[in-house]
Amino acid sequence: MVSPSHVPVLLDRVVALLAPALDHDGAVLVDATLGLGGHSEAVLARCTLARVVGIDRDPDALALAGERLAAYGDRFTAVHAVYDEIPEVMADLGLAQVDGVLFDLGVSSLQLDVSERGFAYRTDSPLDMRMDGTTGTTAADVLNTYSAGDLARILKEYGEERFARQIARAVVKARESAPFTTSAQLVELLYDVIPAPARRTGGHPAKRTFQALRMEVNDELAVLRRAVPAAIDALAVGGRVVVESYHSLEDRLVKRAFVEATRSDVPEDMPFVPEGHEPQFRLVTRGAEQADAAEVELNPRAASVRLRALERVSARTSRPTFPDTGAA
């Protein structure tokens, strides 16, 4: 296997956000998107009282991260799972609550840098794109079986591709002659379909299509939609959820979940918040933080990152509900 490069995005900031929650004996961080373990390694090194449960759906990533973090012994536990399975993982490990959950979303360095995985558009490789290569539908399956309407939908929604309909029609026509099997076939089609002026702006012309296919193959938004509330619910008092997103749809979903968690259940026209009805969570970051120009120059993958963090400030309570006054 090729040894991939790995530069964790916003590493120091992520650790700084998690550290206050992990500064006590028995603290547990769930790294829900372990990847090659860069963030987990920094947490284990700097937060010496904490242990880390690393979750990844990619067996290759788990193996490499396990080797990297072996020196930390039983402070690190690797689990093969999808990150919306946080409750099941915690139950299996006998954890009622945790002190931190980290999501570093999107495609990992391993998946991008190892051409055989089919995530990269700059090298010719099989159109796979599964984060867990042992199960599920491949990108080739999507291209060869989806209708033109469904292809256009995912290209527009997940890739924000302006030429989604044109690309979808071209894919359906091309597969009548030969099924799609490699990335070079798709890249060649994209160069033919996307007008030259558009190809000269916004990065590589295949970037949006490959992103859309990856998100569809791995059902990423649906998984995230389940995972973020589960992570929030898993927190102990003082615990934090930190999320790095790289797509506007991901960031919007995270923002919505965080805003909902920090909302009080007190009617808006009530002049004060009664005891016991204060929000159980607070936002740690103001809006979404981004990487600065220096980090983007060193690590281009940081260019699109949006970082958000949330903290539980009070224990779960059984709150009385406010009566319906019948007011319009």
Binding residues for S-adenosyl-L-methionine: 37-39, 56, 83, 104, 111
Binding-site residue numbers are: 37-39, 56, 83, 104, 111
Write out the two tokens for 133.
């290569």
Length of the chain (residues): 328
Q: Cα(229)–Cα(140) distance, rounded to whole angstroms?
A: 32
Query: How many separate helices (H) and strands (E) can be counted in the chain?
Result: 14, 7
Instruction: Enumerate residues 6+ apart whose C-beta is below 8 A from 46.
Output: 15, 19
Q: Can you tell me whether residue 176 is helix, strand or coil?
A: coil
**Cα dihedral sign for 47, 80, 58, 150?**
negative
Instruction: Enumerate residues 6+ apart whose C-beta is below 8 A from 185.
Output: 127, 174, 178
Q: Which of 127, 131, 112, 121 is nearest to 207 (CA)?
A: 121
Beta bridge partners of 235: 98
Q: Cα 214 from chain centroid? A: 12
Task: Give the DSSP letter string of 50-73.
Answer: -EEEEEES-HHHHHHHHHHTGGGG
Query: Is residue 175 a contact partner of residue 143, using CB atoms and an 8 Å limit?
Result: yes
Instruction: Let me know if 239 is exposed, middle or buried by CB neighbors in 10 A (0-12, 13-18, 19+).
Output: buried
